[in-house]
Amino acid sequence: MTDKLEAKPNLELTPDYRPIEIEKEIREFWMEKEIREKLEDREKGCRDVLGYVEGPPTLNGIPHIGHARGRVMKDIRYRWKTMQGYYVPFWAGWDCQGLPVELEVEKLLGVKNKRELVERVGQERFIEECKKVIMRYHREWVEADKRLGIFINQEKAYWTYRDEYIEREWRYLKRAWEQNLLEEGHYVVAYCPGCQTSLSSAEVGYEGSYKEVEDPSVYFKFKRSGSENEFFLIWTTMPFTIITDTMLAVNPDTEYAKVKVGSEIWIMARRRVEPVMQELGINKYETVETVTGKSLEGSRYDYPLKDIVPQQVELEAKHALVHHVIGEDFVDVNTATGVVHLSPGNGEEDFWAAHKRGVPIFAPFDDEVKFTKEGGLFNGVFARDTDYPVVEELRNRNAFVEVKKIKHEYPTCWRSHDKLVWLARKEYFLRTDKINGKVLEAAEKIQYFFAEPKNRFIAFLKEGKPWCISRERIWGTPLPIWTCVNCGEKKAIGSKAELLKNALEEIPENFELHKPWVDRLTFRCSQCGGIMKREDYVLDTWHNSGASPYARFTDEEFEKFVPTDFLTEGIDQTRGWANSLLLEYVILTGKPEGPYRAFLFQGLTQDARGRKMSKSLGNVVETNKLLEKNSADLCRFYMMRKCSPIDFMNFDMQELNRRSYQVLSTLYHLSRFFLQNAEFDGFSPSRTPLSLENLELPDKWLLSRLQSAVSECTDKLGNCEFNAAVAILEDFVIETLSRLYVPMIRKELWTDDPETRRRRMDIYAVLHYGLKTITLLFNPVTPYLSEALYQKVYKKLDPSLQESVNFERWPEPDNKLVDKNVEEEFDVLFKTVSLVYAARQQAKLKRRWPLRTVVVVAPGKVTASLKKVEAVFLELSNVKTANYELETTQLKESENWISAVEGDLTVVVSGQRDEKLMGEGIMRDLARRVQALRKELGYLPTDVLDGVHIAELNVESSALVSPYLGEMAELVRARKVNLHEKTEEIPDADWHEIELDGKEIFVNIH
């Protein structure tokens, strides 16, 4: 295969650009020649090391186009930096543990909850199944990377579930434990009843976790103890929390009103009286008195459900403030009634209000968020299922006012979408609130490239809440804390060796750092000699992946590669991986520094209509399926070109093959055009290097433009403006090379006159340098096409080149080739030429019809500049002579003259065509058609035709064109051009019908 690539002719460039074939062939070449491996071996002698740690995809889903976009950005950075001479440990990594994987396996096994899982399936089998699932997805990811041309090292991938990774993650925790940053505590946490585990506050705000849900909206009232008819009016959307109600709170600095409704007096914030009464549909009411919130503090109220929740009576006995009103600034008096009921077992603020007063926390729930015996009547019922029964109980006890249903945005579990419940539980916390100053300082030093995602990230970090890292699950890193069952002493374990050394049990052969194996190991307590058992938690999966900068390396590698140079992930990772990386690194080092110097947050990818891709909408574009029928280079180019990396991108299959194909195909054809001509003339880049003395003005212009393209493209890549970098390349190929430069030199290449061979060689040198440079610049974005052109064009012409385009050095601008004067002259030139085109269009004079004269009316500076490039000007305008004037003269206003104006520049062309010019015009028309036919029939530009025959051209045209047939033969590379009246004159010829100015004529070439 690879031998063929280097020498055999069937690997020449096909007449049309076939990206899928190219990609298959180049992929095999890379594998066969171990190009990626060799690139990695270049660490020795590199310019510097730029650390990298892979943001590990979770192996619980098929890679889709959004993932592909992110991976392409990583690959672009890698290929670019490598070409600049840096070494980057671009090694894969896989996120294997945690809820997403567990839930998928639960579904596969058909179990409903964790208890059933443990009892029916068993933990050992469950863990085996989790491993099977991740391996299945792993194959898909590796396949997608391969198709996309991602040069990531799969062999050096890290796996977050492996012992060697987990024990290094433990080291973080041990260090946090020693610094008193890891604590056990009772706190209110968000808890998912479906997954049966608590979540971190970061997970609560996770992308897409807020959903519109329906809840009861209940107004209820608690009687003020000792009063005759006074009630506190309260509102809630979670009636189940009335079961765990412990206090009421008012805002002490606000005025409260006593409102007479029927025979009762209701107490609520004064400013809320009117809206609340309106909502309740009560027209007859009267404010009889206003009091301050402060004066209500200490009031006692009759908790109405004591008979069915007897534990509430015991709570009253435990603390004097239970079922009393307290003052709290957090009470919002602009919504609801301004009186809130507090359930310290079910609310964060409620919890802290109770905690600081020493009021007991009442949280009678089991792991499924069902009430325990202490919930009285509600024993065994799922909390949210008691909402309406509680309303009924209130109704029976004259504590009910009104119930409606409301739809509102409510946080749900980001994985299972169950409504979250806030619960006071015993958990383990990283006290990241204590190091928030350092975290923020570290975050400020990092480069984010764009302001918006930076602000979002910093704003999130400022919340600085403690991080609840304990999870009541199975498939995760076990929390390495053992507690003495006798005296409560705790011990943190920092490595597998430490664990095995201390364990009292024999270590089984299949032992691994997972539940249930670690749970079976116990220690002797150093304080009392009792038995120490592991705390039955696993870690938040974000802690697991956030440990990667430390856990995935050896100590030596960690020293070398961390802080990493550049990472990039989706914008949703502000709350995810970017956050956990930063927090864990500050804990590990104790310094205000991040584990990455730069972080690019990417916008997410949506479908063509701007909708989120989801299984339910059926609009997910899977990478592997897409790339079965589409080119990876086109996808890469399209995704980078379409929008800025931080924009949300609407991926549109229709767009994919349009402009992107045009650009890559143009580069391909330009390269092929160059190669065929260069080979025909025996051009060799080593024998004819680019020589400044021999260049004509168009060459100088092209090379000068190329230098700006190189430096601008490099700058844009550095700023992660991939779309702008790609736009520069696109513009250079389509505009500078294809539309402007090649038309200026094309005619010079048509001839094979030995006298002009020297000039042709110089043009080849320019094209070689220009096209090769642009091919290198394309390499990070379209690695397949660049490699193919490198092998089939440049290495073919110069076998001494590198083995792969990836081993080439990244182009640097050459100041010797920058010529701003020439660029300015050409700017004037192109502006003038486009005015000539505009004038031609007005007079319906086709561009290929030669004209006698053009008059340019412009200031002296402009004409001076134009005169310098006059030959090119006449060539592009297709005009025989040019005159220059400072002012428009009378003559030019007669009807045969047509002008076009822009600013102080006017061009005037004569609309009159003489016979000579008409004959030449027809000849050019015919030549153009013959060129197209040559191409269509597969002739190389360098092939010389034996004969061109044209039949059924009318008499008048025949007469006009006859004098130009010799010139035409030269233009179309034919020995002779013949005219025939009828096609029958050559009976067996293969005639091709073409249209010329509305009439049919016939052409034969051979």
Q: Which residues bind Zn ion (CB under 5 A)?
A: 192, 194-195, 413, 415-416, 418, 484, 486-487, 489, 525, 527-528, 530
Q: Which is nearer to Zn ion, 188 or 879 (CB)?
A: 188
Q: Which is nearer to Zn ion, 168 or 473 (CB)?
A: 473
CB 107, CB 183: distance < 8 Å: no
612 is an active site residue? yes
Q: Which is nearer to Zn ion, 63 or 193 (CB)?
A: 193
CB 766, CB 702: distance < 8 Å: yes
The least distance separating Zn ion from the CB of residue 468, rounded to whole angstroms, comes to: 15
Per DSSP, 858 falls in state -
Burial class (CB in 10 A: 0-12, 13-18, 19+), 42: middle
Ramachandran area for residue 679 (φ above 0: left; ψ -120 to 50: alpha; else beta): alpha
Q: Which of 936, 1004, 935 is nearest to 976 (CA)?
A: 1004
517 is an active site residue? no
Q: Which is nearer to Zn ion, 541 or 832 (CB)?
A: 541
56 is an active site residue? yes
CB 242, CB 277: distance < 8 Å: no
Q: What is the length of the chain? A: 1006
The least distance separating Zn ion from the CB of residue 301, rounded to whole angstroms, comes to: 36
912 is an active site residue? no
Q: Which is nearer to Zn ion, 193 or 466 (CB)?
A: 193
170 is an active site residue? no
Q: Which is nearer to Zn ion, 419 or 992 (CB)?
A: 419
The least distance separating Zn ion from the CB of residue 521, rounded to whole angstroms, comes to: 16
Q: Which of 99, 89, 101, 97 is nearest to 157 (CA)?
A: 89
The least distance separating Zn ion from the CB of residue 98, rounded to whole angstroms, comes to: 12
The least distance separating Zn ion from the CB of residue 195, rounded to whole angstroms, comes to: 3
Provide long-range contacts, Cβ within 8 A and 24+ apart, for 638-643. Answer: 639/65, 639/68, 639/69, 639/72, 640/72, 640/73, 640/76, 640/722, 640/723, 640/725, 640/726, 640/781, 641/723, 641/726, 641/727, 641/730, 642/723, 643/603, 643/723
615 is an active site residue? yes
CB 286, CB 318: distance < 8 Å: no
Residue with tokens 């062999």: 155
Which one from 422, 542, 810, 897 is the annotated catalytic residue? 542
Task: Please give the angle made by the CA atoms of 258, 263 and 267, to the nearest 5 degrees.
Answer: 20
**Backbone φ and ψ of 688, nearest 5°:** -120, 80
Q: Which is nearer to Zn ion, 416 or 502 (CB)?
A: 416
- 3-state class of 120 per DSSP? helix
Q: Which is nearer to Zn ion, 504 or 608 (CB)?
A: 504
**DSSP letters for 803-846:** SSGGGSPPP---GGG--HHHHHHHHHHHHHHHHHHHHHHHTT--
- CA 978, 982, 987, 992 dihedral sign is positive
Per DSSP, 234 falls in state E
Q: Which of 678, 740, 670, 730 is nearest to 704 (CA)?
A: 740
**DSSP letters for 563-609:** SBS-EEEEGGGGTTHHHHHHHHHHHHH-SS--SBSBEEEEPPEE-TT
Q: Which is nearer to Zn ion, 295 or 486 (CB)?
A: 486
The least distance separating Zn ion from the CB of residue 533, rounded to whole angstroms, comes to: 11
Reported as type and span, the H/E element at residue 947 is: strand 945-951
The C-alpha R_g of the chain, in whole angstroms, comes to 39
988 is an active site residue? no
The Cα 667–Cα 268 span in angstroms is 74
The least distance separating Zn ion from the CB of residue 432, rounded to whole angstroms, comes to: 23
Q: Which is nearer to Zn ion, 195 or 354 (CB)?
A: 195
Which one from 467, 577, 701, 897 is the annotated catalytic residue? 577
- 3-state class of 991 per DSSP? coil
**DSSP letters for 882-921:** EEEESS--GGGGSTTEEEEEETTEEEEEE----HHHHHHH
Q: Which residues pair with 386 in a beta bridge?
A: none
- 3-state class of 231 per DSSP? strand
Which one from 38, 465, 612, 892 is the annotated catalytic residue? 612
Which one from 19, 56, 480, 698 is the annotated catalytic residue? 56
The least distance separating Zn ion from the CB of residue 182, rounded to whole angstroms, comes to: 19
Q: Which residues pair with 260 in a beta bridge?
A: 265, 286
Question: What are the E-state strand segments in 206-328?
Answer: 210-224, 230-236, 247-250, 255-261, 264-269, 286-292, 301-302, 325-327
Q: Which is nearer to Zn ion, 1 or 528 (CB)?
A: 528
The Cα 121–Cα 109 span in angstroms is 8
Q: What is the largest CA-CA distance in the chain?
A: 123
Q: Which is nearer to Zn ion, 457 or 523 (CB)?
A: 523
Residue type, 859: P
Which one from 615, 629, 844, 982 is the annotated catalytic residue? 615
The least distance separating Zn ion from the CB of residue 112, rounded to whole angstroms, comes to: 13
- 3-state class of 497 per DSSP? helix
Burial class (CB in 10 A: 0-12, 13-18, 19+), 938: exposed
Q: Which is nearer to Zn ion, 143 or 572 (CB)?
A: 572
The least distance separating Zn ion from the CB of residue 504, rounded to whole angstroms, comes to: 14
The least distance separating Zn ion from the CB of residue 152, rounded to whole angstroms, comes to: 31
**Three state DSSP letters for 173-190:** HHHHHHCCCEEEEEEEEE
Catalytic residue numbers read 56, 95, 542, 573, 577, 612, 615
